[in-house]
């Protein structure tokens, strides 16, 4: 196999691994939204004490399917890491991204196991579960980001650097941090929707505003506020980066990010009005993942070595007469 064919094959595989992992993430959200997290009891890695459940309930099938697909995702992450290390020379950015993908996949499995073993699933309304959900969301976003960078750099793009990036670095770093915080608030809001469903929009608003409401409901109201604030930051930052780093790749990424975030806000509004049906929660999460992936890759493009910089004057070398 020639080097170009091998490189193309790895790039296709890296995108496939990312897409498959997103599907597993969505199924995990389906497990939470349907209250199926305790489908295998508090047993892990076995299911209700069995390797293969013999008389499973529907909740057991949903949870067990998530475990099987997650196991395959781990296998893909191992292959991605080994292949990435073998196919790329020392110092290539793909190597670090592929290793990070595997490490984060292992921590993802550890957090998932902890949710089950410590009974942070099903109808558990504790604040501790919210912390677990926050950790799970952050790890998931970092995992997806690492895989997105693996696929990005597998396409032959230059590595990034945070050194001496000035305003561009601050804008992109702030946007990444903001989307992570927004994602955590979204995970907590989704948990509140699952544990304390409302029969009408008015009832849901009364739940959120009640001084005696559960802490998850009081936290839920923060999510739409953060969504608007972070959205303004992200769209403004993307537009500024497109001006400061005038390359076609950066401009396309900034435009796509703006469109996706607008769709994400629309989906959030529809989710609120429809009282968070399971299918809409999954659409909302998929768009959130898409926003994150595009933002990560926009950051890689904007911070890449060699990208044109409108905020830095070219160095003038005096000529020698």
What are 167-222's pLDDT values in tens digits?
A: 999 999 999 999 999 999 999 999 999 999 888 888 888 888 888 889 888 888 89
74 within 8 A of 68, measured Cβ to Cβ? no
pLDDT of the residue at 306: 74
Q: Is the pLDDT score of 313 beyond 60? A: no
- Domain check: are 232 and 246 in the same one? yes
Range of the domain at 273: 157-310
pLDDT score, position 215:
87
Would you say residue 4 has pLDDT above 90? no
Last residue of a domain, one of 156, 173, 206: 156
Q: Are 171 and 295 members of one domain? A: yes
pLDDT score recorded for residue 311:
66
Tokens of 259: 């469109």
Mean pLDDT of 133-146: 97
In a domain, residue 144? The reply is yes
- Find all residues with CB under 8 Å of 321, minimum gap 6, and list them: none
Domain-embedded: residue 317: no
Task: Indicate the pTM of the whole model.
Answer: 0.93
Residue 321 pLDDT: 43
Mean pLDDT of the region 275-304: 96
Mean pLDDT of the chain: 92
């Amino acid at each position: 196999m020639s080097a170009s064919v091998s490189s193309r094959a790895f790039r296709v595989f890296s995108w496939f691994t990312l897409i498959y992992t997103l599907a597993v993430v969505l199924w995990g959200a389906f497990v939470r939204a349907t209250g199926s997290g305790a489908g295998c009891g508090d047993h892990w890695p076995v299911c209700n004490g069995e390797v293969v459940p013999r008389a499973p309930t529907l909740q057991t099938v949903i949870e067990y399917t998530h475990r099987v697909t997650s196991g395959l995702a781990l296998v893909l992450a191992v292959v991605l890491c080994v292949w990435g290390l073998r196919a790329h020379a020392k110092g290539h950015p793909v190597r670090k991204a592929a290793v990070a993908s595997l490490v984060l996949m292992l921590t993802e499995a550890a957090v998932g196991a902890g949710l089950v073993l410590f009974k942070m699933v099903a109808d558990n309304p504790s604040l501790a579960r919210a912390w677990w959900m926050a950790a799970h969301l952050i790890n998931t976003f970092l995992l997806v980001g690492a895989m997105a960078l693996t696929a990005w750099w597998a396409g032959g793009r230059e590595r990034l650097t945070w050194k001496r990036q000035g305003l561009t670095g601050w804008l992109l770093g702030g946007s990444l941090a903001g989307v992570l915080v927004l994602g955590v608030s979204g995970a907590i809001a989704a948990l509140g929707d699952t544990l304390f469903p409302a029969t009408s929009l008015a009832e849901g608003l009364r739940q959120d505003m009640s001084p005696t409401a559960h802490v998850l409901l009081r936290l839920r109201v923060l999510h739409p506020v953060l969504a608007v604030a972070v959205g303004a930051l992200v769209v403004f930052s993307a537009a500024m980066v497109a001006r400061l780093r005038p390359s076609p790749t950066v401009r396309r990424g900034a435009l796509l990010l703006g469109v996706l975030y607008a769709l994400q806000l629309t989906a959030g509004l529809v989710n609120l009005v429809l009282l968070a049906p399971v299918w809409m929660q999954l659409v909302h999460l998929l768009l959130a993942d898409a926003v994150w992936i595009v933002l990560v890759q926009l950051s890689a493009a904007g911070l890449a070595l060699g990208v044109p910089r409108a905020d830095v004057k070219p160095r003038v070398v005096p000529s020698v007469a």
